[in-house]
Chains A and B, each alone.
Chain A
Amino acid sequence: MPDEDSVSKLLRLKRYEQPPPGYFENFLVEFQTRQRAELLRQSPWERFNDWIASIAPSFEVPRLAYAAMVVCAIGASALIMGRPDGDSAGLAANSVPTPPLTLSSPSAASIPIGEPQPVALTSTGSPSVHYVLPTRPVSYASSRSF
């Protein structure tokens, strides 16, 4: 393609762009100076990190290690999730299951005012227990006695 050739030809001209004269000759000296300055600035921890970075690529993890790690992780989580909790298991074994309690009272319309209001504390699913107040409510009692 002639246009593409022309583009490539134009781009090749960029090969002639060069840095200032003497740049390449001085580059090594500048590099060494910077490197020494860097070494002086580096903390032992950074040097340790550099050392790790330099040896890390040579260390190869066996291929099956990742799979084994995943299997171990899954196994461990399955064990943790499947194991019954000690305290709650003991309680569950010793106690009788109790149904939830509900507090209910008969409707106010069916009970004449002045009579003791029966309050029933019922428990669903078991024989109901009724607690009946033996006297009139305190607010209705006469303060005078003859």
Chain B
Amino acid sequence: MEPTETPDDELVARTQRGDARAFDELIVRYTPRLYGLIYNMTSNHEDTNDLLQDVFSKAYRSIRGFQGKSSFYTWLHSIAANMTINFLKKRSRRATMSLDDVDNGIANDPEFISATPENDPRHQANLSELQKKLNEAMMKLSIEHRTVVTMFDIQGMPHAEIAKILGISEGTVRSRLFYAHRQLQNHLQEFIKP
């Protein structure tokens, strides 16, 4: 029998009572997910690491004020998304993207292989080129569009959850996704099957 995971609510309550180890558990639980969110918005590992530290630091300082009106997941993602958006707005993003930290595991992913069939010359592109193109295309999107694309397409969040995290309507989420996808189609023409 597998040990059951302590629910977020319980860890939050323990943290609010001063149990720092409970917050450590929350950090371990949410770091990979938040890393994905921030990294795909910034496309830079160093910035992601700094922001992630700041996000958890802010969450820890504010956790006493967390009343459970939303889930801890939504609350934490909301802090992360807002801090990243503010960061990106403050700095007009540099165009350089760090691809050094990208895991090579992408090359073995079956979905990736099927997306780049070797026998079709139009789709013959090496892995790093596709990664580069993907990142470039993402960085050409506005911050708001990039955020919803990251949450929906990369993180797999439902529209309703994205709307709650960003404090916008579901309609706005859908509309942003529509325009973002249209832009991405133009940038990624060569990789898209006819």
Task: Provide the bound-state CA to CA distance between A23 and B115, in Å.
Answer: 29
CB of B111 within 8 A of CB of A9, answer yes
Within 8 A of B (CB), among A9-32: 9-20, 23-24, 27-28, 30-32
- Tell whether, in the assembled complex, residue B61 and residue A54 are in contact, meaning their CB atoms are under 8 Å apart: yes
Residue count of chain A within 8 Å CB distance of chain B: 35
Residues of A within 8 A of B175 (CB): none
B191 partner residues in chain A, CB cutoff 8 A = 6, 10
Chain B contacts for A55, CB-based, 8 A: 64-65
Count of A-B contacts judged by CB separation below 8 Å: 116
CB distance from B55 to the nearest CB of A (A): 10
Question: When the two chains form their complex, are residues B153 and A11 in contact, meaning their CB atoms are under 8 A apart?
Answer: yes
Q: Complex Cα distance A16/B52, Å?
A: 19
| Interface of B (DSSP majority class) | helix
Q: How large is the interface on B (under 10, 10 to 19, 20 to 34, 35 or more residues)?
A: 35 or more
Q: Is A61 an interface residue (CB 8 A)?
A: no
28 residue pairs of the A-B complex, CB under 8 angstroms, read A7-B185, A7-B188, A7-B192, A9-B111, A9-B115, A11-B149, A13-B131, A13-B134, A15-B155, A16-B106, A16-B109, A16-B112, A17-B101, A17-B103, A20-B45, A27-B31, A27-B52, A28-B27, A31-B27, A31-B53, A31-B57, A35-B57, A35-B60, A50-B61, A53-B61, A54-B64, A56-B65, A57-B62
- Residue numbers of A with Cβ under 8 A of B are 2-4, 6-20, 23-24, 27-28, 30-32, 34-35, 38, 50, 53-58
